[in-house]
Chain A
Amino acid sequence: MSAPSAARAEVPVLAADRLTVRFGDRTALADVTLAVPRGRVVSVIGPSGGGKTTLLRAFNRMNELVPGAATTGTLRFNGVDLHGEEVDPVEVRRRIGMVFQQATLFPRSIFDNVVFGPRARGHAGDLLELAEEVLVAAGLWSEVAEDLDRPAMQLSAGQRQRLCIARTLALKPEVLLLDEPTSALDPAATARIESLIHSLRRDHTIVLATHGRRQAARLSDFTAYLAGGELIEYGPTEALFTNPRDRRTESYLTGRIA
């Protein structure tokens, strides 16, 4: 999955071409074509049920775990077909990390949660060192450092979400898919996650699904507006917010549709 470094800058990290995802009879994503440039934050906005989650899950091949899911079109990761025969979905998920809307922790200790991915991969190095590194990166270290063996379920909602992010960072992924990471959080916890996303953009390409129009405007370089499974508009965040080309985007941004 490597390409000459000169070409790398031009190849988008993720590219969907005429991507369609169906669950049984329901079309969740229809004919979506978009490219995620390297090192940028792309936010995906739109109403509930518009296809945001399905798009994110398509990027790390999570949809295929759902019975009845069918994907057509192509998805490329650094130019390589994600559904190519030689591509192992397990490897894809290790390089394209995902954080879910619902922070589902394993009923184990904080430490076991953080090192779950590296352990599954058979990490050779020092797990404690790695755990500290990613917990620091996720802004959780100072709150949990004194007792990593505490059950993870004892953490607050905001801490849980940061633990989920730390857990994903431990995979050392190139891409982070964040699915409405702040939708269940209060404003203070939301602010912490947002500043965390801001710091993570240095080393990662980030795709952020969000309900918060302001959050998209604050955090992202590019914004995609998805509604009814269709990509209505995609462009630089500032242009899309100040001068939307499509009337439907404008209605959504001005809050005229729910």
Chain B
Amino acid sequence: MSGPKHRRDGVGTACEVVAALVAAAFLAVAGVLAVEAWGAADLGFLFDPSSRVADRAGIGPALAGTLWLAALTVAFALPVGVGAAVYLEEYAPRGGVVAAAGGAVENLAGVPSVVYGVVGLALFVRGLGMGPSLLAGGCTLAALALPTVIVTTRSAIRAVPCGLREAAYSLGATRWQVVRGQVLPAAAPGIVTGSCAAVTRTVGEAAPLLVLGAVSFMTFAPRSPADPLTSLPTQVFAWSARSQEDFAAAAAGAGVALLLVLLVVNLAALAVRRRLRGIPA
């Protein structure tokens, strides 16, 4: 694992300082949250259902809801997003329509999340009759993550050396064999990185879920995607809007839990990426 020796120069030092500042800021945020959350900190907090009494309120349903939402978002956004990116890069004829579609996708990535909530409310909650369920939330968050997944996957695919494709084609590989055997494996680390960023960003969203009708008081943990929509970010929002001071601690505790969930997702992605790179390269 001995990398090339990095020369210590001005730019390198500046980068290190910036990196240290970012890390310090993250630790500060986590620290403030932890101090705030101290009152609520016990194991029961993680698993207990909501309560009208701040001391007894837990994040069990919200935590389970966020895990469901993360799983649903990945399950919907990853195959559709990667599929769309592969189609746009490798199959679609070059020209006006594809360029327009690409531009549209990039614009979608810039649409505010609350707007996705409004669309999700009309389309999933009412139109398709899903009601304010985890499924509707997962679909909405997947739609929110989709443009970013597509954009990052396309750039990962474009970064695959041209010679690799040509070598495979020249050896009589079909288009699908080239995509499946060469392009996707070479692009996989980039796809994982981009998708992970998209999913963690989306799972931390409260606004679209509030529009869909997320509940903040649930007495049981959701067991299926058809159960009512609840999540950590909406729970944080609901508790922080209340006047009792004790609920502030609960809100901070839920915030810490959310950070931990996202940290775990990132570490999982890191592990996947290392495995992908571990293939003899």
Partner-B contacts on A (CB < 8 A):
60, 62, 65, 67-68, 90-91, 93-94, 97-98, 100, 102, 104-109, 116-117, 120-121, 151, 153, 164, 167-168, 171
Contacts and interface: CB of A to CB of B under 8 A. Distances in A.
B172 A62 contact: no
A104 B94 contact: no
A90 B173 contact: yes
Contact of A93 (B171, B279, B280): B171
Interface of B: 94, 161, 163-174, 177, 181-182, 186, 279-281
Contacts of B165: 65
A171 B281 contact: no
A106 B280 contact: no
Given A97-B171, A107-B279, 5 more contacts: A67-B94, A90-B174, A100-B166, A153-B281, A171-B172
Given A68-B94, A151-B281, A100 B173 contact: no
A104 B177 CA distance: 17
* Overall SS of chain B's interface: helix
Contacts of A121: 172
A108 B146 CA distance: 32
Contacts of B168: 106, 116, 120
A90 B280 CA distance: 28
A62 B170 contact: yes
Contacts of A90: 172-174
B166 A65 contact: yes
A193 B190 CA distance: 37
A67 to B, nearest CB: 4
B28 to A, nearest CB: 42
B281 A107 contact: yes
B85 to A, nearest CB: 17
A212 B197 CA distance: 51
Nearest to A108: B280
A35 to B, nearest CB: 23
Nearest to A167: B171
A62 B169 contact: yes
Given A107-B186, A151-B280, A151-B281, A100 B163 contact: yes
**Top 7 nearest A-B pairs by Cβ distance?**
A104-B163, A94-B172, A117-B171, A151-B280, A120-B173, A104-B167, A67-B94
B167 A106 contact: yes
Nearest to A117: B171
Given A102-B163, A109-B280, A65 B169 contact: yes
B280 A104 contact: no
A151 B279 CA distance: 10
Nearest to B172: A94
28 contacts: A62-B166, A62-B169, A62-B170, A68-B94, A91-B172, A93-B171, A93-B172, A94-B171, A97-B171, A100-B163, A100-B170, A104-B161, A104-B164, A106-B164, A106-B182, A107-B279, A107-B280, A107-B281, A109-B280, A116-B168, A116-B173, A117-B171, A120-B177, A121-B172, A167-B171, A168-B170, A168-B171, A171-B172
Contacts of B181: 120
B94 to A, nearest CB: 4
Most buried by B among A91, A102, A116: A116
Contacts of A91: 172
Contacts of B94: 67-68
Nearest to A121: B172
A94 B173 CA distance: 8
A247 B20 CA distance: 69
A60 B181 CA distance: 21
A167 B163 CA distance: 15
A43 B242 CA distance: 83
Nearest to B175: A90
Contacts of B161: 104
B172 A100 contact: no
A116 B280 contact: no
Contacts of A60: 170
B122 to A, nearest CB: 39
Contacts of A109: 280
B172 A104 contact: no
A44 B234 CA distance: 70
A117 to B, nearest CB: 4
A154 to B, nearest CB: 9
A113 to B, nearest CB: 9
Nearest to B186: A107
